[in-house]
A and B are shown apart, each in its own frame.
Chain A
Amino acid sequence: NAGVTQTPKFQVLKTGQSMTLQCAQDMNHEYMSWYRQDPGMGLRLIHYSVGAGITDQGEVPNGYNVSRSTTEDFPLRLLSAAPSQTSVYFCASSQGLAGTGTQYFGPGTRLTVL
């Protein structure tokens, strides 16, 4: 099992550019989520999905889109990057509801927007 994988590891964008951060898991987990980590802010939930075709917003969803067409993949799209989106992005997955399964994290993508 590879667990949760994320690509790319590093990315530099110019303001206004778009890109997609990829996330995949091979554990057949229903729940997947995206977090961003900023200094002094901890991990903040951007969007999450409870299964293929089902997504919902987290704490800081503005500027990001997600979709979940398969159980394995949960890409995060930045339509028009802004410097405020400079951060480290983590994808995570878990099998069940909170309290029934552990959440596994990917290695992260470090994004810089100039």
Chain B
Amino acid sequence: DQQVKQNSPSLSVQEGRISILNCDYTNSMFDYFLWYKKYPAEGPTFLISISSIKDKNEDGRFTVFLNKSAKHLSLHIVPSQPGDSAVYFCAASGSGTYKYIFGTGTRLKVLA
């Protein structure tokens, strides 16, 4: 049973426009969420996180929104740049644990 779901395997966006990547989760015990970015032949790198006590966290061009009632989070990238082209994974965890559950990833392609 997939506890963290990224239903869009791929997304194409024009340079300068907004990219919105979505993630849904089923386990109500999750209270910490992260987004990772992965380039080919490299390990994932941490991008941004959000705790369940917040509904928004912003870091430069990247903003993560959390809707706890819908068990949904999204990553907004504004403006999108060609260097943002990568696979994005969302991950979830429960506080007091070390275990992270990852989604299946969304491949973002930013077109110049």
Chain A interface residues (CB < 8 Å from chain B): 4, 31, 33, 35, 40-45, 48, 50, 58-59, 90, 92, 94, 97-99, 102-108
- Chain A at the B interface: SS class: strand
Instruction: Determine the distance from Cα of A97 to Cα of B4 in the docked complex, in whole angstroms.
Output: 19
Asked, given contacts A41-B104, A43-B44, A105-B44, whether A48 binds B97 with beta carbons under 8 Å apart, the answer is no
Contact A42 B102 (CB under 8 A): yes
Asked, given contacts A43-B89, A98-B94, whether A106 binds B99 with beta carbons under 8 Å apart, the answer is no
B 74-108 binary contact with A (CB < 8 Å = 1; else 0): 00000000000000010101111111111111000
**Which chain A residues border B51 with CB–CB below 8 Å?**
99
B 33-69 binary contact with A (CB < 8 Å = 1; else 0): 0101000011111100101000000000000000000
Q: How many residues of B contact A (CB 8 A)?
A: 30
Contact B98 A108 (CB under 8 A): no
Report which residue of B4, B42, B98, B102 has the largest number of chain A beta carbons within 10 angstroms of its beta carbon: B98
Q: How many A-B residue pairs have CB under 8 A?
A: 67
Contact B93 A102 (CB under 8 A): no
Q: Does B31 contact A (CB under 8 A)?
A: yes
Asked, given contacts A4-B43, A104-B46, A108-B43, whether A42 binds B98 with beta carbons under 8 Å apart, the answer is no
